[in-house]
Amino acid sequence: MKPFLEHNTILESHCNMSTNNIIKVIIADDHEFFRDGLATVLALRSDLNIVAHAANGKALIEKVETYQPDLVLTDITMPIVDGIEATQIIKKRFPKTKVIALSMHNDDLVILRMMKAGAMGFADKAIKRDDLFFAIDQVVYKNTRYITEGIEQKLLREPLAAYDLSNEYSGAIFTERELQVIHLLIEEKTIKEMADTLDLSVKTIEAHRARIMKRMHVRSMAGMVAFAFKHNLI
């Protein structure tokens, strides 16, 4: 399977960018050691300016209100307010601020909840430096979502090997009705609730769901949501 986003070196992508672009960054994590280590890594990039640190979700929201950063790098498990709730609030109040989650969590539900909260990226805390820089470039400069390859494979539940998860996907393969069904599925509506909402029979909704998953080449709801997330169907 091809990785979600391929790259050679972060330097190639960064050298093509304007040196006038300064990305304001806030780091949120309840472990000071991790925050300091991440700040040291980010300092290697001249276009990244760390404007604040936060040790919990409540402090993160307050710092975002104060500094209105371009990017937030946040943990998920934090005291007072967790990263998921903080992301929801931030995206509602400051939609232009991009959020990348850095977490040791690999539970499907946690990852999907972070996606639905508005995160543009999700990466394991063990991510390599160049991969982190690449993720930042994709999210901030290209407005493209990023998922660590290992997490992507987990979410997609080992899809058919022949299926190419490249960026060549076209939303035209789904009808307007199918997109409505996708959105309702993502909202965790039951088949009966979807049938009532769309004024269709339960059998018709089940047929739509089966056809959608077949076209996506996924075998589970988690895989379907991951596909929709990556291809901006959410």
Contacts of 61 (CB under 8 A, 6+ apart): 81, 86, 89, 90
Parent domain of 194: 171-230
Per the model's pLDDT, the better-predicted residue between 83 and 173 turns out to be 83
Per-residue pLDDT, 112: 75
CATH code, domain carrying 122: 3.40.50.2300
Decide if 195 is inside a domain: yes
Tokens encoding 63: 């710092």
DSSP code, position 137? I
Confidence of residue 151 (pLDDT cuts 50, 70, 90): low
Contacts of 150 (CB under 8 A, 6+ apart): 106, 124
Q: How many domains does the structure of the chain reveal?
A: 2
3-class state of residue 100 by DSSP: strand
Per the model's pLDDT, the better-predicted residue between 188 and 210 turns out to be 210
Among 107, 125, 156, the domain boundary falls at 156
What DSSP letter does each residue of 113-134 carry, written as one string? HHHHHT-SEEEETT--HHHHHH
Residue 201 has pLDDT above 80, yes or no: yes
Decide if 47 is inside a domain: yes
In single-letter form, the type of residue at position 133 comes to F
Share of the chain above pLDDT 90, in %: 47
Predicted model pTM? 0.63
Residue 218 has pLDDT above 70, yes or no: yes
* Cα–Cα separations (whole angstroms), residue 147 to 115, 138, 233: 10, 10, 16
Same domain, 178 and 129: no
Confidence of residue 234 (pLDDT cuts 50, 70, 90): low
Beta bridge partners of 50: 25
Per the model's pLDDT, the better-predicted residue between 177 and 221 turns out to be 177
Decide if 107 is inside a domain: yes
Length of the chain: 234
As a whole number, mean pLDDT of residues 56-74 equals: 97
Residue 6 has pLDDT above 60, yes or no: no
Q: Which residue has the tokens 């995206």?
A: 91
Same domain, 185 and 124: no
Do 58 and 83 touch, CB atoms closer than 8 A? no
* Cα–Cα distance measured from residue 132 to residue 128, given in angstroms and rounded to the nearest whole number: 6
Residue 174: other Cβ atoms inside 10 A: 20
